[in-house]
């Protein structure tokens, strides 16, 4: 795979202060906001820009704690090379094909993955884009991604430790934005979608996958503490999983499931004129189901019936 030699690519002009959206200047390893009333400073951790606020919302904090634990444990069990091979075999081509159905990649493409984790998708796309940008609130995940990219001699990347609700990216910068099971972890999902809209260029797309609110999410998805985004059901699920069970089963942190019509309306309200919602095709394992025959039956239902789809994709096109 041929890599783009963009080690000298200047990404500073596309960055901004996440608080006031002011321009930034670099001083050594610091970025300084130029707005007189702000003047906040941001540090680098290796090649990772740290824009994470000291205090984050409770829902995001719960998810951050869970994912930090996950990546610390994951790094110890398997090398990132082994995990990357698994990702390529099981997920990449499927995700890539579904994204480019809505927009093709090219030499000038700026790609952003929110909730990027260790940058497996960005690594696979790095030879298809001018720049791959990853933002995540897990420092452990980004450190893993940084080491992997540098070991592979990949330089056309930008790593951001930050909050997707306040991204340090100027408006109209991104061609393709992808979030694989991310925006459902933010309680104020509508405001988050508006932030995704802000950073996209005209003609850019936002491609996100979210859990589908259906029979599946109301039954088996409760095993990992899903919160149905629907009046009354939401309050009941929050009371059970957070108040009574103390987040014990919320292995992915705070997580909503959505009706397709509801998540589509959120995108329309954020400004997207064209919005597409459909099944997100993915490899299903259902390892928590103990019997092979029963497992096959559940997989069949999840692949064929909207009542059991695990995930839906929502794609917004910015005019």
**Burial of 56 (C-beta count, 10 Å sphere; 0-12/13-18/19+):** middle
Any idea of the CA torsion for 239, 242, 245, 249, to the nearest 10 degrees? Answer: 120
The angle at the Cα of 164, spanning 86 to 177, to the nearest 5 degrees, equals 60
CA 48, CA 250: separation in Å to the nearest integer?
Answer: 28
Provide the pLDDT for residue 3: 44
CA 295, CA 4: separation in Å to the nearest integer?
Answer: 43
CA 296, CA 253: separation in Å to the nearest integer?
Answer: 28
Q: Can you give the residue ranges of every domain in the chain?
A: 48-317
The angle at the Cα of 277, spanning 180 to 160, to the nearest 5 degrees, equals 25
Provide the pLDDT for residue 84: 87
The pTM (predicted TM-score) of the whole model is 0.89
3-state secondary structure 199-238: HEEEEEEEEEEEEECCHHHHCHHHHHCCEECCCCHHHHHH
Residue of 275, 278, 190, 172 lying closest to 229 (CA atoms): 190
CA 202, CA 15: separation in Å to the nearest integer?
Answer: 18
Q: What is the mean pLDDT of each run of 10 residues along the chain (319 residues)?
A: 53 96 94 96 95 70 60 59 87 95 97 95 95 94 91 94 96 98 94 98 98 90 87 91 83 88 98 97 77 82 90 97
CA 2, CA 206: separation in Å to the nearest integer?
Answer: 27
Q: Is 83 helix (H, G, I), strand (E, B) or coil?
A: helix
**Burial of 104 (C-beta count, 10 Å sphere; 0-12/13-18/19+):** exposed
Positive or negative, the CA dihedral 114, 115, 120, 121 is negative
CATH code, 48-317: 3.40.50.150
């Amino acid at each position: 795979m041929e890599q783009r030699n963009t080690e000298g690519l200047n990404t500073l002009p596309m960055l901004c202060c996440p608080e006031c959206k002011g321009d930034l200047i670099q001083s050594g390893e610091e970025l300084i906001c130029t707005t007189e009333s702000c003047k906040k400073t941001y540090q680098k951790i290796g090649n990772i820009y740290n824009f994470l606020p000291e205090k984050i919302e409770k829902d995001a904090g719960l998810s951050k704690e869970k994912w930090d634990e996950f990546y610390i444990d994951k790094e110890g069990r398997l090398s990132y090379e082994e995990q990357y091979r698994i990702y390529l075999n099981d997920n990449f081509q499927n995700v890539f094909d579904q994204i480019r159905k809505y927009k093709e990649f090219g030499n000038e493409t700026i790609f952003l993955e929110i909730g990027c984790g260790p940058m497996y998708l960005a690594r696979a796309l790095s030879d298809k884009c001018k720049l791959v940008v990853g933002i995540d609130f897990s420092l452990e995940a980004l450190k893993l991604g940084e080491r992997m990219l540098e070991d592979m001699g990949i330089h056309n990347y930008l790593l951001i430790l930050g909050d997707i609700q306040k991204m340090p990216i100027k408006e109209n910068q991104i061609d393709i934005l992808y979030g694989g099971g991310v925006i459902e972890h933010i309680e104020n999902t509508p405001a988050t979608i508006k932030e995704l809209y802000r950073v996209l260029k005209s003609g850019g797309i936002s491609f996100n996958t979210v859990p589908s609110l259906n029979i599946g999410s109301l039954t088996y998805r409760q095993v990992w503490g899903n919160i149905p985004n629907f009046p009354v059901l939401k309050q009941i699920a929050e009371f059970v999983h957070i108040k009574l069970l103390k987040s014990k089963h919320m292995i992915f942190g705070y997580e909503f499931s959505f009706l397709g019509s509801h998540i589509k309306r959120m995108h329309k309200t954020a400004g997207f004129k064209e919005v597409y919602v459909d099944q997100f095709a993915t490899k299903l394992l259902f390892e928590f189901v103990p019997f092979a025959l029963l497992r096959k039956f559940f997989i069949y239902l999840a692949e064929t019936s909207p009542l059991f789809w695990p995930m839906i994709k929502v794609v917004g096109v910015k005019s």
